Amino acid sequence: MTQQTLAEALTLTDTGAGGWTARLDGGFSNGPQSMPQERGAPFGGLMAALAAGAMRQGLGIETPLQTLTIQYLAAARFEDAVFTPTLNRGGRNVAYASVTGGQGDRIAVQALGTYGRDVAGPVLKPMVASPPPVGDLESTPLDTSFGPWFTRHIDHRFVAGPKLYGENAGAAPELGCWMRTIDAAPLDEARLLFLLDGLYPTYFTAFPAPPTISASVDLRADLLAALTPDTSPEGWAYFHFTSRDVGGGWAVEDGEAYAPDGRPLALVRQRRKLMPSRG
């Protein structure tokens, strides 16, 4: 069966009844490639991009997305899903919106979006990153025995290797990686949201194999700069992820994203629920 391209996966079709439909394809499963796609669920980064897209398209919002907060309520199925947006409050400078997405009576995600235009004011940009140029690094596909299906749509280039299974033991649980979608399209809002969830949990670098699997519970992305075709014409962004806290069956992880010229693009925080280990 022909698999969707990313552009097709991000396409939303107006239902004519206030909702927007997307076809969720198994090629974007979060299950490992060593298992059938149906063993996983649609990738959280794709669901975040679709939620934001439904708010923008459905509500006609043209100002930049400032913050997206999404909760993952249930695993969606690999079939059509409907995203229904609501404008909670509009305004000249700031607009607040929400969206639910799911299949039938089963809601898979709910999200909040804050939109607003940039205006003149004080500037403070303390976020700094100086990774090696992406052209100096080789593409590093994830091992298919572990890498999820959706990673086939991402070009990963690790700055100091993937550091899996304890290479960061006793050191900072962090990871740096250039990423872009394999269509090499200019970086845009949807692709940035997709990539902000494009790596395995950073705590994988601190603990030995086998990895403790987790499920995303919620994700918050703060976009820090307007994205234009000139921001990253070839789609690249540099990402730095850090595990902030792991314990009690939960993990909290932070990430940063930078344009090729070093401009900060986004912050992301994700809470994960660790799956019980099988004895």
Residue 14 inside a domain? The answer is: yes
137: which DSSP letter? Answer: S
Parent domain of 71? 6-117+137-274
Residue 195 inside a domain? The answer is: yes
Q: Which residue has the tokens 């006609």?
A: 60
204: which DSSP letter? Answer: G
Which two three-digit tokens encode residue 38?
């149906």
Residue 101 inside a domain? The answer is: yes
Residue 125 inside a domain? The answer is: no
Which two three-digit tokens encode residue 79?
């079939």
Following DSSP, what letter does each residue of 18-77 receive, concatenated? S-EEEE--GGGBSSBTTS-GGGS-B-HHHHHHHHHHHHHHHHT--SPEEEEEEEE-SPPP
- Into how many domains does the chain fold? 1
Predicted local confidence at residue 35, as pLDDT: 94
Residue 131 inside a domain? The answer is: no
Sites in the chain below the pLDDT cut of 70: 1-2, 278-279
Residue 78 inside a domain? The answer is: yes
- The kind and range of the H/E element at 94 are strand 94-103
Q: Is the CB of residue 264 less than 8 Å from the CB of residue 225? A: yes
Predicted local confidence at residue 92, as pLDDT: 80
pLDDT in tens, 59-102: 999 999 999 999 999 999 999 999 999 999 998 889 999 999 99
- 91: domain CATH number is 2.40.160.210
Residue 129 inside a domain? The answer is: no
Predicted local confidence at residue 211, as pLDDT: 84
* pTM (2 d.p.): 0.96
How far apart CA 5 and CA 24 sit, in angstroms, is 11
